[in-house]
Amino acid sequence: MEHEDNHIDTPRAREFVAALRSFEQDGNPSGLVAQFADGATVWRLDGRAERTDVEAFWREYRDQFERVSTTFRNAVENDREVALEWDSDIVPAGGHPTTYRGVTVLEIDPSADAVTALRVYYDTVAVTGGTFVRS
């Protein structure tokens, strides 16, 4: 599969993307977890509070899917923050293939060369199988 990420300039963001892709394929979070500083926080639109157990966060994410493959469409970068716009092709556990979209925001500590915070915003309707109600 060809990935559209040549537009990502920040080395830390490129390393994060490569580690995420590896994790999506093999389910081993160690390379992805290594991208994060000690005490880093992670959060996503799942109704839970900000968390510091980065490995559990990623394992829970991956366990939702039989298959997942993310393509990064856009990146907005500076030396301390990166916003990555993406599409993920997924097969939820026991479900049907679908695509959902979102944005991942990384806060980076340049002196430690590590991600200190991650926030993920995504289309919850696509992931939960819900429908929009028209008024």
44-88 pLDDT, tens digit each: 987 788 999 999 999 999 998 999 999 999 999 888 999 999 999
CATH fold, domain 11-126, is Nuclear Transport Factor 2; Chain: A, (3.10.450)
Pairing mode, if any, of strands 81-92 and 114-122? unpaired
Q: How crowded is the C-beta side of 55, counted as CA atoms within 13 Å? A: 6
Radius of gyration of the chain (CA): 15
Residue type, position 39, single letter: G
pLDDT digit string, tens, across residues 105-116? 999 999 988 999
Where helices occur in the chain by DSSP H, the ranges are: 11-26, 30-33, 54-63, 124-128
Model pTM above 0.75: yes
